[in-house]
Amino acid sequence: MKTGKRMIAAASVMATLFAAPGGAAQAEPQRGGNLVFAVSMGEPATFDCHAAGSLNVMFRVAPHYSTLLQIDPARYPAIVGDLAESWTVSDDGLLYTFKLRPNVRFHDGSALTSADVRASFERMRNPPPGVVSVRKELYADIASIDTPDAATVVFRLSEPNVSMLAMLAQPYGCIYSDALLKSDPAYPAKKVIGSGPFRFVSYTPGAEWVGERFPQYFRTGLPYLDGFKALSLTTAAMVNALAGGQVMVDFRGVTPLEAQRIVATRGKDVNVFEANPAITTLFMATINTARPGLDDARVRRALALALDHWEGSKAMERTTTVSAVGGLSRPGSEFARSNAELEKLAGFSRNIEAARAEARRLLAEADKTNLKLVFLNRKPWPYMGTYLIDQFRQIGVTMQQEQVEDAQFFARRRAGDFDLVLEYLPDYLDDPTAKWSGFLSYDRNPNNLGRFSDHKLDALLEAQSRTADAAQRLAMIRGIEEYVLDQAYALPLFWGRRTTVVDAKLQGYVPAPTNYVGQDLAHYWLRQ
């Protein structure tokens, strides 16, 4: 991934966009100080990484936990060890053996061993009653997890999976205490006890989340910071706080207009970074195929044809963080199509009048000319609903947007209480095996929000995950994308862009093409 360089100007003030972490490579990291950052996405519905579906959880809890593997933000998508000191993969791709780092401690002082790693992955792949595992299907190929000794974990696969290391590196894969899980399998939803660089201090809903350096952290010399404080702020308050120097960053990013305003106030006291051309978050509207009318592919396809992505992107670009046009693969990634190729897919034609005429014809054919829909949305993204309401109106479809708090949003989403719902694909990596796992049939994957069961699609998804030849796999991935869009199981809206304003004192930030990596804060430091 290459990061672009551009200038953001406001009045006569300029801020440089760096492709390297804010001078960290040129200066010796300094110890001490507290990082204060904003979280402008609402309050967490859970503290449990395995059940989390939002960055507002991970921005707070990630500094407290370790994972088996990590994605290196400076060399995205390279995979490095976290708890794993080394690993080997057998020639047949069925055996993954990990050696753990020595002397790892949980924040309660207990030793972390292979039993804790096994228990955590068992919880994700086969959750006990009452425990939510959002990414269960990622680990369907794991046949068993063995622990021959306290420092060794062996994953045995039933079938080869070319994406397995990437899925073992997913940032939601927090390692929990086996002993605590045995006493209460649901404890991570209520307590924060990990082995990460910072231990939990306090959480005041609507105000702040506080962590402090864990002195027994297993990485020598880390973390550099004494602690951190995550402030719960509205978007407007976050921009004011960045402009006033009360917070050092909002890792989610800001819009170009917000960046201009902050730079106009702070000048050289801030750096502005951008990951180009898009980050790994795709916002899309998933269609509930269990609802009458929406079980008809003609109706779903009509909704797709109503969307003018190209003009919509222009409207989104200046005032939102979501504006890049792409299909189901991130623009600029190894799996993405060119714009010319994309225009041939359902919902991406530049001849919008012809597309909408075909949409109206399909609705008439399906006898759904007076269709009325409800779009379930989260509060941070009202513009997504506004965009859909306008686009559907062009083909005679009426839609109502219902914006709710996170707890209600995720409960209604799980219950299928919607016609369309805002969804964002797993956004820590471009690999389709992880990113498209939500398309696996509902009869085997309850996290399929569209509630469709398409075993042809299941077979296609499985086949690409078994294909080691890169060219063959790319062709298969392109075919899957075309099939999903033809069936209109989901409507891709826009991919995120990430413009991050960072206080110049904060060092170690890397503009990776995902919001999820580097969030343990271990390598951040403050220039005194």
Tell me what pLDDT residue 497 has.
Answer: 87
Tell me what pLDDT residue 426 has.
Answer: 65
Q: Could you tell me if 160 and 304 lie in one domain?
A: no
> Where is mean pLDDT largest: 14-23, 110-119, 271-280?
110-119
**Stretch 243-247: mean pLDDT, rounded?**
97
The structural domain count of the chain equals 3
Q: Could you tell me if 59 and 106 lie in one domain?
A: no
Q: Contact at 8 Å (CB) between 477 and 464?
A: yes
Tell me what pLDDT residue 318 has.
Answer: 80
User: How many of the other CB atoms lie within 10 Å of CB of 42?
Assistant: 18
CATH of the domain at 332: 3.10.105.10
**Alpha-carbon span 290 to 311, nearest angstrom:** 31
C-alpha R_g of the chain: 23
Q: Could you tell me if 211 and 101 lie in one domain?
A: no
Q: How many CA atoms lie within 13 A of 307 on its CB side?
A: 28
**Residue found by looking up tokens 């100080």 in the block:** 33
Q: Could you tell me if 315 and 458 lie in one domain?
A: yes
Q: Would you place residue 380 in the very low, low, confident or very high pLDDT band (cuts 50, 70, 90)?
A: confident
Tell me what pLDDT residue 274 has.
Answer: 87
Structure tokens at 252: 């989610």
Q: Could you tell me if 84 and 25 lie in one domain?
A: no
**Alpha-carbon span 355 to 368, nearest angstrom:** 17
**Stretch 330-356: mean pLDDT, rounded?**
94
Q: Contact at 8 Å (CB) between 186 and 131?
A: yes
Q: Contact at 8 Å (CB) between 401 and 372?
A: no
Q: Could you tell me if 362 and 472 lie in one domain?
A: yes
Q: Could you tell me if 14 and 83 lie in one domain?
A: no
SS3 421: strand
Q: Could you tell me if 224 and 358 lie in one domain?
A: no
> Where is mean pLDDT largest: 39-43, 80-84, 403-407?
80-84
Q: Could you tell me if 409 and 455 lie in one domain?
A: yes
**Stretch 478-490: mean pLDDT, rounded?**
96
**Mean pLDDT of all residues belonging to the chain:** 92
Last residue of one domain, picked from the residues 143, 163, 189: 189
**Alpha-carbon span 163 to 185, nearest angstrom:** 28
CATH of the domain at 183: 3.90.76.10
Tell me what pLDDT residue 273 has.
Answer: 94
Q: Could you tell me if 410 and 265 lie in one domain?
A: no
Q: Evaluate whether residue 301 is within a structural domain.
A: yes
Closest CA to 328 of 312, 311, 316, 345: 345
Tell me what pLDDT residue 53 has.
Answer: 78
Tell me what pLDDT residue 385 has.
Answer: 95
- Where in the sequence is the domain holding 144, given as residue range(s)? 69-189
SS3 375: strand
pLDDT digits (tens, 9 = 90+) for 272-320: 998 777 888 899 999 999 999 999 999 999 999 999 999 999 999 888 8
Q: Evaluate whether residue 2 is within a structural domain.
A: no
Strand (E) or helix (H) holding 490 = strand 490-496
pLDDT digits (tens, 9 = 90+) for 439-468: 999 998 888 999 999 999 999 999 999 999
User: How many of the other CB atoms lie within 10 Å of CB of 183?
Assistant: 8
Q: What pTM, to 2 d.p., does this model score?
A: 0.85
Q: Find all residues with CB under 8 Å of 183, minimum gap 6, and list them.
A: none
Last residue of one domain, picked from the residues 142, 172, 189: 189
**Residue found by looking up tokens 């009360």 in the block:** 246
* pLDDT surpasses 80 at 20: no
Q: Contact at 8 Å (CB) between 231 and 39?
A: yes
Q: Could you tell me if 294 and 228 lie in one domain?
A: no
